[in-house]
Amino acid sequence: MLELSLPPSLSSLPSLEHNDGTLLQYYTQEWSAHRMLSKKLENPFQRLILPRAFQFSPLLHMIMSLAAHDLFNRTHADQEHQRQEFYSSMLQHKLQSLRDMRQLLCSSKGLDDTYDSISQCEKDGLLMAVMLHSLMEIATNSTREWVVHTLGGLSMVKRYGHEPFSPEVYRFVTDHFSLFEAFLATTGTELEIEDLNGWLVPQRKSMFPILRSMHGRSRINPYTGLSSELIQNITSITSTIQRHSEAGSDRKSATIMRTELQAVEDRLSELQQWSEDSDMESLIYINAAAFEAAAWVYLRVAQYGCDAEEIQKSLMPKLFEAIRRVHDRRDALVGSVPYPLWALFIAACLAPEHERIQVLDWFEELKGCRSLSNVSSTMEATMMVWKQQDLKLINGHVRGGRESGVPWHEAVRCLGWMLSLM
């Protein structure tokens, strides 16, 4: 076990034990360091979270819970006692964080009350703690619970706006929530609060100066792996699918849909994602390329339906190659490094039969190292998609024939899951 003395600023916080120093050290030196796709760029998991965690106990307990979860996953199975200690610490700190947040919210008047006793640090800490609770649920392979925290965070943002929070904290957290929202919607599942669906992405564009220009929106986020502009395009495809599937298949609706999707195609064609990291072979560019290739496949599915043969001949080889490049980089498989799981899911759902073995190999590789991801649930959803496709073949459906609709929506609906695809 690592040893670390607790900083004096932590000595007054409740429920801390000496071994918690191990968790703090692990979060600082390992977990947070691996949450970035480029070590050359500033790390908000360290710069924004750590100083506030030392002053806000719910956030402190959550970073220790995440560290304990990661250590639990990385400790060899034959060290059962140590694994159980980490697992127990994970649950204890998660529970204490929830208790402390509830106590704070019950005793406060509201985040926008100028006379309230909640400090700026506590408001920032509360928003980031909610985000980390979402990540923890995703890390434990949740297919529904993570949405509770995401909805809580989105509701806070919608009700109070950005004024109560530090701008950099607000953007950091909404970067994650907008991605959660966008990827979930591509599965055919919407958030349970209707007026929050699709609300955050355009809201952020008007709020942050950097997102008002195409150049700023094309910047690759180093802790998500894709740009705000690409998220916006993915969201636009999804909303177009949703609106016109509800409107039916009349000629006018089909014409409008084609026009809207052509506008997305034009934006995708012009998109040039970039990063301050000048190394074009760095993981940040490789991840972004995988997401972009998957977005093109998603667009074609929306435009032409599931015309598998056409998509596989023109776009799937590029997507498979992009994912293969990610796996060729061993640093991409460190447990907490962002990984383009949404891109793998899109590739898996449309994979030709001879590529299924490769997809399964990638999933198995990820299951052995991804401590902060819902790989297992995504793999199970993929298997359900394949089963439905195979049943259609048995029932006489011709492989490669033109088929309307998004091919994975029905499978996810049957499972009743809320997939984060993170």
pLDDT at position 363: 94
289 falls within a domain: yes
C-alpha to C-alpha distance for 408 and 363, rounded to whole angstroms: 17
* Domain boundaries, position 291: 14-107+119-415
Q: What's the pLDDT at 203?
A: 56
Dist. CA 168–CA 111, nearest whole Å = 17
Task: Tally the C-alpha atoms within 13 A of residue 104's C-alpha that lie toward its C-beta.
Answer: 21
Structure tokens given for 122: 């506590």
Q: At what angle do helices 145-160 and 120-139 cross, to 10 degrees?
A: 150
Q: Say which residue the tokens 């019950």 belong to.
A: 106
DSSP conformation letters of 9-58: GGTTSTT--TTHHHHHHHIIIIIGGGG-S-TTS--HHHHTHHHHHTT-HH
Report whether 118 contacts 108 (CB < 8 A): yes
Amino acid making up residue 52: R
Check: CB of residue 234 under 8 Å from CB of residue 288. Answer: no
**Which pLDDT does position 43 carry in this prediction?**
95
In a domain, 8, yes or no: no
Report the number of distinct structural domains present in the chain.
1
Residue whose structure tokens are 């998220």: 231
pLDDT at 306: 65
Q: What is the CA radius of gyration of the chain?
A: 22
| Dist. CA 217–CA 225, nearest whole Å | 13
Q: Is residue 242 part of a domain?
A: yes
Residue 139, sorted as left (phi over 0), alpha (psi -120 to 50) or beta, turns out to be alpha
Distance, CA of 37 to CA of 60 (rounded, Å): 24
Task: Give the alpha-carbon dihedral of 81, 83, 85, 89, to 10 degrees.
Answer: -170
For residue 275, tell me if it sits in a domain.
yes
Tokens of 309: 């043969």
Report yes or no on 4 lying in a domain.
Answer: no
Residue 420 belongs to some domain of the structure:
no
CB atoms within 10 A of CB 267: 15
Which residue(s) pair with 227 in the sheet? Answer: 220
The tally of CA atoms less than 13 A away on the side-chain side of residue 40 is: 8
pTM: 0.89
Taking CA atoms, 185 is separated from 238, 305, 339, in Å, by 7, 17, 19
Please give the pLDDT value at position 110: 65
In degrees, rounded to 5, the angle at the alpha carbon of residue 55 between the alpha carbons of residues 51 and 58 is: 105
The kind and range of the H/E element at 369 are none
- Please count the other Cβ atoms lying within 10 Å of the Cβ belonging to residue 87: 16
* Residue 420: closest CA among 383, 382, 359, 374: 374
Q: What does the pLDDT profile of the chain (422 residues) look like in tens digits?
A: 444 444 444 444 445 676 898 999 999 999 999 899 988 899 999 999 999 999 999 999 999 999 999 999 888 889 999 999 999 999 999 999 999 999 988 887 666 655 566 888 999 999 999 999 999 999 888 888 999 998 888 888 888 888 889 999 999 998 998 899 899 999 998 766 555 555 555 555 544 444 456 668 899 999 999 999 999 999 999 999 988 776 556 778 888 999 999 999 999 999 999 999 989 999 999 999 999 999 999 999 999 876 656 787 889 999 999 999 999 987 766 667 889 999 999 999 999 899 999 999 999 998 877 766 789 999 999 999 999 999 988 887 655 545 557 889 999 999 999 999 98
Within a domain: 5: no
